[in-house]
Every structure is written in C-alpha cells, then in structure tokens.
C-alpha cells in the first residue's frame, strides 16, 4: 500500500504537497510534476477511506432499489449514473428486495459510509428517513412517495398514464375496459387503478363496476389469473388495462392460451415490453419514463448536496406519450 508519504519521499516534497497536487490546490509546477511522476511510478492510488474519513463526506450516491433484475429499475439506475458520473460522483447500488428491514439496513450503511446522498425507491409508504436527514445526508424518493418525511420526490404520473392508455383503447373501439393493477397500498398500483376509475367515469358518466378492477401481484402469474377471472364475469370486458409489463404478459398469454381472437380484444401495458417478438394488433404500450425518473432524481439530489434549501418538491413526470410498439421497431 503506497501512501502519500511514499510519494512525498520519492518526489522530495512533503505529504501535504502531494495531497495538494491531488486536490487542485496551487503547487509550483516543478514539484507538481515531480509528484505526478512519483505517484505514477509507485502506482499510487489514493485511499478513499482515509479521504472520506477526513472529509466527512464522499462523492458517492447511494441508489436503493427493490429489484435489480427489474428493467424498470435498471433503466432508472442508468439515468442516475449518467447524471452522477457527469458530476463526478460514483454510484453505490443496494437491492432492498422490497424488504423494509433490508432497506433500513442499507440506509444505515450508506450513512455509515458517509455517502453524499441517497436515492431510494421506498419499500413502504411509511419508511422513515430521519436517520440520514438529521445527519445532513439528503434523500430523494423515486417512483414511490414517502409521505412520512418531507423530502424531494420524483414519480411518474401514473394517474395520467392509466388515463392515456384508456383513451388509446377507447380510440381502438373498446368500451368495457377492465383494470388489473398491482397490490393494494403499493402507490404506483393505487394511482394506476385510480386513473382507470377516473377515466372510466369520464367515458361512461358513472363510476366503474367494482368487479372490473382486480389487484394482484406485479407478476406474470398475477396477470394470468386476473385475466382468467375477468373473462369469466357475466359481463366480461372487451379490453384490459394492465398496470405493468408482467401483468400485461400474463394477460396476453392467457388470452392466447384460450385461443381468444386478439383482433377483438384490447390490452394496454403501462410499461415497455422489451424483447417482444411481435405486436398484437390491439396492444397499447405506454413506456414508463424510468430513465428520466433517474436523471431527475439525481439532479434534485445534486442540488441538495450542493446546499439547496428550497422547500421539498414533488416532481411528477408525465407519461412518455402512448405509442404502439410499431414506432420503436
């Protein structure tokens, strides 16, 4: 382990000078040059832990997401890393696995590592971020609200997304549009179901029948089961609004498995279907602004890191515009 002292000795200067060279403080060109050479020859790598200990903070942003295997969150993370890197920050990723305990643990670890800030998709709507906040570590909630604390929040306009999808289905001629959304008390799922109900009321002049909105896990199986039971209704729907991509896939698979004619049944997915093989005729895809959520969250966080004390803002990111898959082929 070569330290600044080794470099200093080799360059014939003091450790302080070496430190200055690496931190941009003015040093005479001759010594600066000597230090750089010595550092190179010795393969000097600054010790981040000592640096952070001394400075009390780091150029690291912690990103805490529920599932690294979910394309939505990886796209979001990508947005964060883009902005972070441009600003000279690196990103530490944590997987909360939708577990509140794990999330709390990771938040504490991030604080202990004196990260510069935290971007988190809260696992529950009752998570508490006073720990970092009281220590001056800014937190930005992304994708989901954090009602208990007063922080910046960046979320997609899920209500509007659902309504837009409904409108597209209506434009395709469908009128009795059911809704399969995610679990109750999951904010995105709640909002999407809400948007569905609002739009239904606008289209029909009356609230939607309760039985037309099912809440299931955000999974393929959830979509499959829900689609099945919706189709068994006395008055079955002629289209289904799926609140995320997995539910949409489950829905379509069920429709195909029972040989349903997809030219006469509409499906909307409130998320992209990345490696889809073909575009069913009446499929409406409303891409989620995942990466944009990430970039915005990172920007807000950087503002806080740089000392902004504006009152916390909630940024609602509009849908990326409904579009059929064809346009992205």
Question: Site residues (CB under 8 A) for its own copies?
Answer: 1, 43, 45-50, 52-53, 56, 58, 68-69, 71, 74-75, 77-78, 81, 90-95, 108-109, 111-114, 131, 134-135, 220, 245-246, 249, 252-253, 256, 273-278, 280, 329
Q: Which is nearer to its own copies, 123 or 199 (CB)?
A: 123
**In terms of Cα–Cα distance, which of 297, 293, 291 is closest to 61?**
297
Task: Beginning with the edge strand found earlier in the chain, give each strand of the sheet holding 177-181 in spatial order.
Answer: 213-215, 177-181, 239-242, 266-269, 283-285
Residue 36 partner contact from DNA, its own copies, none using kind-dependent CB cut-offs of 5 to 8 Å: none
Angle at CA 209, nearest 5°, toward 204 and 211?
A: 145
Chain residues 30-69 in contact with DNA, contact rule CB under 7 A: 30-32, 44, 46-47, 50-51, 53-56
Residue 15 partner contact from DNA, its own copies, none using kind-dependent CB cut-offs of 5 to 8 Å: DNA
Min dist CB 234 to its own copies, Å, is 28
Phi and psi at residue 310, in whole multiples of 5°? -55, 155
Beta-strand pair 117-120/177-181: unpaired
Q: Which is nearer to its own copies, 53 or 316 (CB)?
A: 53
Residue 219 partner contact from DNA, its own copies, none using kind-dependent CB cut-offs of 5 to 8 Å: none
| Member of 9, 10, 23, 79 binding DNA (CB under 7 A) | 23
Cβ–Cβ under 8 Å, residues 118 and 139: yes
Q: Which is nearer to DNA, 114 or 219 (CB)?
A: 114
Min dist CB 97 to DNA, Å, is 26
Q: Is residue 134 near DNA by the rule CB under 7 A?
A: no
Residue 276 partner contact from DNA, its own copies, none using kind-dependent CB cut-offs of 5 to 8 Å: its own copies
The footprint of DNA on this chain (CB under 7 A) covers a number of residues equal to: 30
Q: How far apart are CA 57 and CA 223, in angstroms?
A: 45
- E strands within the chain? 60-65, 90-95, 117-120, 139-142, 152-156, 177-181, 213-215, 239-242, 266-269, 283-285, 314-317
Q: How far apart are CA 121 and CA 186, in angstroms?
A: 12
Min dist CB 119 to DNA, Å, is 24
Q: How far apart are CA 93 and CA 68, in angstroms?
A: 9
Q: Which is nearer to DNA, 43 or 234 (CB)?
A: 43
- HSE, CB side, 13 Å, CA atoms: give it for residue 5: 1
Burial of 152 (0-12, 13-18, 19+ CB in 10 A): buried
Q: Which is nearer to DNA, 59 or 70 (CB)?
A: 59
Q: Which residues bind DNA (CB under 7 A)?
A: 1, 3-5, 12-17, 19-20, 22-23, 25-28, 30-32, 44, 46-47, 50-51, 53-56
């Amino acid at each position: 382990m070569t330290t600044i002292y080794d470099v200093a000795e080799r360059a014939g200067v003091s450790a302080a000078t070496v430190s200055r060279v690496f931190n941009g403080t003015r040093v005479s060109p001759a010594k600066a040059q000597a230090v750089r050479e010595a550092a190179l020859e010795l393969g000097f790598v600054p010790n981040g832990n000592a640096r952070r200990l001394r400075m009390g903070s780091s150029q690291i942003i912690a990103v805490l997401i529920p599932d690294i295997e979910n394309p939505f969150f990886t796209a979001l993370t990508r947005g964060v890393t883009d902005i972070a890197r441009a600003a000279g920050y690196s990103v530490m990723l944590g997987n909360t696995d939708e577990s509140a305990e794990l999330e709390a643990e990771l938040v504490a670890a991030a604080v202990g590592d004196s990260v510069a800030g935290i971007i988190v998709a809260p696992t529950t709507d009752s998570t508490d971020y006073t720990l970092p906040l009281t220590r001056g570590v800014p937190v930005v909630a992304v994708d989901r609200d954090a009602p208990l604390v007063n922080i910046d929040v960046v979320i997609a306009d899920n209500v509007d997304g659902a309504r837009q999808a409904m409108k597209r289905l209506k434009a395709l001629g469908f009128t009795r549009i059911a809704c399969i959304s995610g679990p109750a008390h999951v904010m995105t799922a709640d909002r999407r179901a809400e948007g569905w109900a609002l739009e239904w009321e606008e289209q029909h002049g009356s609230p939607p029948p309760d039985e037309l909105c099912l809440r299931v896990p955000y999974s393929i199986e959830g979509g499959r089961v829900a689609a099945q039971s919706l189709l068994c209704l006395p008055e079955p729907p002629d289209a289904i609004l799926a609140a995320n991509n997995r539910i949409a896939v489950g829905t379509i698979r069920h429709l195909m498995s029972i040989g349903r004619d997809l030219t006469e049944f509409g499906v909307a997915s409130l998320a992209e279907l990345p490696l889809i093989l073909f575009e069913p005729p009446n499929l409406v895809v409303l891409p989620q602004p995942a990466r944009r959520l990430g970039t915005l969250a990172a920007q807000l966080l950087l503002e806080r890191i740089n000392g902004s004390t504006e009152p916390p803002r909630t940024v609602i990111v509009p849908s990326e515009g409904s579009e059929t898959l064809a346009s992205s082929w």
